[in-house]
Amino acid sequence: MEERPNILVVDDEIGPRESLKVLLKPYYNVYAVEKPTEAIAMLEQIPVDLVTLDLKMPGMSGTKVLEKIKQRDPDIEAIIITGYGSMDTAIEGLRLGAFDYISKPFDVNHILTLIRRALQRRQAKMELKNVKSEFLANISHELRTPLSVVIGFVSILLDQLLGQLTEQQQKILERVYKNSGELLELVDNVLFLSSLNAGEVTLAAEAFDARAMLDQCINRYQALVKDKRIAVTIDAPAKVPSVGDASKTARVTQNLLHNAIKFTPAGGTITLKLQEVRAEKRLQIEIIDTGLGMPEQHIERLYEPFQQMDSSMRRQFSGLGLGLTVARRLTDFLGGSLQIKSGANVGTHVVFSIPHEAERANAVARHTV
């Protein structure tokens, strides 16, 4: 049996609210709330497909509620229903992404038709997203193997295992090696994001040395750091035993570090700090750079896939803007937190933390020695 869409009715007037509930219940799963705050809370509890929304409500305007809904999930469809509407409010609602606008008292057939069409648009968008995701996953798989081969052979040539290189040959191969590595980084992030979206990623629990993991992440980008003449300093104990998912913790750290290196100009500095916050039972990694930074209002947008600060950034810096998206999604998956503090031209300070039990980690470390 096909799953019925979930519709949320938001209206402070009991008459229209209950009328819509009775009207829609034969066809959909219907949830009705009176207050805007209840509507926002309901989004946490059920996967909402469509919202019918009154524009004039006490405490919070309908347009503000719509804005919050779209921030949470831009694909949720919305139909504005109001008896106080004007052309200005209608335009504002449509600008925020509402599907359509209807005045009270509404015509039954009209509202049913609008809801059906809005749900069809949502279904079409979801199917298109799935097609895009599958395409990205498939093309990424196909790209990864030849890229790995290219990087492997270029590495052999750079090590001069097949003969001496001229200075010009060395520079050309270093450029090929660097750009191939950048491309492989993009492909890996696309593949991982596709796996996360498909629910194919599992959580591991193993003993690892967080300091050694940090050193490996830095070594991964040693050539890039050297090329840009960036000074990288580490503030961390010589050994930090931990228990958790080492590979996913490393991937978050790599993405954050790579981002810092990319947006730090030549001659800049990056500081990495690693510490156990025992009182809060967490492991904390900080990455502080002297890069370009960004205005505070742009930070949240950078967590979305394929986003950079603006189009000029995309021209100046390569990349699809997936690094922070994967880092944040993985941090949530690990049960951790990710905070970014930044400002235009003042650099960026990233704090990444995950659950950590020092006593257990030390016990496992002693047992494995």
Query: 64-76, pLDDT tens digit by residue?
Result: 888 888 878 888 8
Dihedral sign of CA atoms 97, 100, 103, 106 in order? negative
Residue 5 pLDDT: 92
Residue 310 pLDDT: 46
Higher per-residue pLDDT: 161 or 50:
50
Residue 1 pLDDT: 47
Query: 67-124, pLDDT tens digit by residue?
Result: 888 878 888 899 888 765 555 666 667 777 788 878 777 788 888 999 999 999 998 8
Segment 113-138 shows an average pLDDT of 81
274 lies in the same domain as 363: yes
337 lies in the same domain as 239: yes
Percent of the chain past pLDDT 90, that is, above it, reads 25
Tell me the CATH number at 65: 3.40.50.2300
Q: How confident is the model at residue 140 (pLDDT cuts 50, 70, 90)?
A: low
Residue 147 covered by a domain = yes
Distance CA 269, CA 347 (A): 10
**What is the four-CA torsion angle of 312, 316, 322, 328, rounded to 10 degrees?**
-80
Q: How confident is the model at residue 317 (pLDDT cuts 50, 70, 90)?
A: very low
91 lies in the same domain as 142: no
DSSP code at position 141: H
Q: How confident is the model at residue 321 (pLDDT cuts 50, 70, 90)?
A: low
Residue 316 pLDDT: 46
Residue 98 covered by a domain = yes
Q: How many domains does the chain have?
A: 3
Amino acid at 313: M
Residue 10 covered by a domain = yes
211 lies in the same domain as 192: no
C-beta of residue 338 within 8 angstroms of C-beta of residue 328: yes
Domain final residue, candidates 106, 140, 162: 106
Q: How confident is the model at residue 349 (pLDDT cuts 50, 70, 90)?
A: very high
217 lies in the same domain as 190: no
Sequence-distant (6+) residues with CB within 8 A of 254 are 217, 220, 221
Q: How many Å from the N-terminal Cα to the C-terminal Cα in the chain?
A: 56
Q: Give the pair of three-digit tokens for residue 56.
A: 């004039």
Q: Which of 5, 20, 7, 26 is nearest to 82 (CA)?
A: 20
Residue 115 covered by a domain = no
247 lies in the same domain as 319: yes
Residue 170 covered by a domain = yes
**Can you say how many angstroms the Cα of residue 10 is from the centroid of all Cα atoms in its chain?**
29
Sequence-distant (6+) residues with CB within 8 A of 175 are none
51 lies in the same domain as 168: no
Tell me the CATH number at 240: 3.30.565.10
Distance CA 319, CA 337 (A): 24
Domain final residue, candidates 106, 121, 138: 106
183 lies in the same domain as 34: no
Sequence-distant (6+) residues with CB within 8 A of 177 are 151, 154, 155, 158, 223
Query: 228-244, pLDDT tens digit by residue?
Result: 899 999 999 999 899 89
Residue 341 covered by a domain = yes
238 lies in the same domain as 338: yes
Query: 150-177, pLDDT tens digit by residue?
Result: 888 888 888 888 888 888 988 898 888 8
Residue 232 covered by a domain = yes
- How many CB atoms lie under 10 A from the CB of residue 61? 16
**Considering the chain, what is the average pLDDT of its residues?**
82
Residue 123 covered by a domain = no
Q: How confident is the model at residue 315 (pLDDT cuts 50, 70, 90)?
A: very low
Residue 318 pLDDT: 47
162 lies in the same domain as 262: no
C-beta of residue 281 within 8 angstroms of C-beta of residue 354: no
Query: 251-301, pLDDT tens digit by residue?
Result: 999 999 998 998 898 899 999 999 999 888 999 999 999 988 777 766 666
- Min mean pLDDT across 10-14, 19-23, 79-83, 232-236 is at 79-83
CA–CA distances in Å: residue 157 to residues 79, 88, 166: 62, 66, 11
49 lies in the same domain as 135: no
Q: Which of 70, 73, 68 is nearest to 129 (CA)?
A: 73
Residue 215 pLDDT: 94
Provide the whole-model pTM. 0.59
DSSP per position, 41-66:
HHHHHS---EEEE-S--SSS-HHHHH
Segment 219-230 shows an average pLDDT of 88
260 lies in the same domain as 301: yes
Domain of residue 189: give its range: 130-197
